[in-house]
A and B are shown apart, each in its own frame.
Chain A
């Protein structure tokens, strides 16, 4: 491969299960040291893509190169250099925290003393040092996630793959995980993650692709995507039950880049939310609640697909 800084390269990558197309001919490149995200709703093909990158699912068509190697032919050699945090917990809940890292480290052929040294360091990093001798079963969801992250790092991987790293966690546990991932990013680790949380994508990703129904609908930095597909500000209006339809009609001539009528609220995209709100009030409309906020990736997704990310 020409550019050694391109760690993953996909061209027309496709995955078909039975008759259904999970990933439909996607192109992307991952560069060394970046945090790259796949953003999309459930069923968009993110996990299937991750499994192909992780060399546990052979592509149905297209080209895929990971670390300059072919996943079908060189699967074991590639997997030896990857760390994987799967969507579902796959910890051995019958073993202790420390034993989980021991067993996993051995899969990579690491010596016991190397594993012991890394285990101490990694459990410290994920704030589980005091639970080293405990069974995994009673740990909280957030702790299990952090242990899975520690486990994925035992082999000092060149790329860390995280499939929905914070799905199912409460907000506090999510922030702890984000903080750890942010530290890894600062340390120069190359991360690939999938998420359907736009805040996760915005906070962590240097660059991301937006996926929907197996296809990539847009790609770029979070900032560029918002600039291209949203507006600097968004005015959100909620009307009393039953009045939204009528209100939406009256809003039609309010000057805005775009108007989205959702089931529970109306979104008006403009450069200046407060000015737009003044226009709304001038038409005699009095929404139950109003909110002016900046444009987000959620708005990007809505614009590109007509649907919301989290449903």
Chain B
């Protein structure tokens, strides 16, 4: 519906969303330096400390490795998916909240031909672009650390983008309903950090007590981690990958549908 082309002379949804994407790109020209830390430095630091440092201890205890690979090779693709979650959460909370609450630039844009859904789609496009950039950098860092085991690792880039969107779309749909920013601290503390630690990034979910394994398998991050890891290690099967992609796309799609409603309610009250 939202992407349907309107009558002659009127731009379609894709063109309108692209206008909002250009706003975020203009904005990014001012803030990109700050994003270098999370994009480049953080993968290097994590892989050095946990992959190489901690990995030396893990690998010494398990000479056969985790599923036959070094701890660094096991960890790296998991971190890539986790980084995608982190980037998505960053991008879909404060920048969106600031636009609707502090700067009110969303209200300004809503008075132009852009519809609330165009603003939502435009920001998701920008988020996808940032996710792709970060994933490419992460892949290069992985290559430098020698943790890539298969050419399929290239497919980790779209895999990480999809993982990120499975967070960005629903979180952004939620953010735009908020009138105070205190919700985000809760979201980070009780949402993102437990997921980061227990969704299979640092150790297989099979290490968890049996009772909390099922919820771990339901988190989008676990699917993202499993997808990226199997691709990077050259162990991806068609059925398994399709299930992960389908699950992540389902969550992202539900967030997309919700966000179109919440954006409209907030901006066209």
- Listed in ascending order, the chain A residues whose CB lies under 8 Å from chain B are 17, 54, 56-58, 75-77, 79-80, 82, 84, 86, 88-95, 99, 102-104, 106-109, 151, 155
Contacts and interface: CB of A to CB of B under 8 A. Distances in A.
A297 to B, nearest CB: 28
Contacts of A17: 269
B103 A77 contact: no
Contact of B113 (A88, A89, A91, A108): A108
Interface in B57-105: 103-105
B220 to A, nearest CB: 32
B268 A56 contact: yes
Contact of A77 (B27, B105, B113): B113
B6 interface: yes
B111 A88 contact: no
Contacts of B154: none
B15 interface: yes
Q: Which applies to chain A's interface (DSSP): helix, strand, loop or mixed?
A: loop
Contacts of B217: none
A86 B109 CA distance: 11
Contacts of A108: 112-113
Nearest to A102: B26
B105 A92 contact: yes
B32 interface: no
A54 B11 CA distance: 19
Contacts of B103: 90-94
A86 B113 contact: no
B19 to A, nearest CB: 5
Interface residues of B, number: 27
Interface of B: 6, 10-11, 15-16, 19-20, 22-23, 26-27, 30, 103-105, 107-115, 267-269
B26 A86 contact: no
A107 B105 CA distance: 12
A218 B106 CA distance: 35
B115 A107 contact: no
Given A77-B10, A88-B104, A107 B19 contact: yes
Given A75-B115, A76-B6, 12 more contacts: A56-B268, A76-B114, A77-B10, A79-B111, A86-B108, A92-B108, A94-B103, A99-B26, A107-B20, A107-B113, A108-B113, A109-B19
B269 A57 contact: yes
3 A-B pairs with least C-beta separation? A90-B108, A107-B112, A84-B111
Nearest to A58: B268
Contacts of B6: 76-77
B15 A109 contact: yes
Contacts of A82: 111
B113 A79 contact: yes
B111 A86 contact: yes
B114 A107 contact: yes
Give the one of B26, B107, B111, B268 with max A CB within 10 A. B111
Contacts of B267: 56
A56 B108 CA distance: 10
Contact of A106 (B23, B107, B268, B269): B23
A244 to B, nearest CB: 45
Contacts of A91: 103, 105, 108
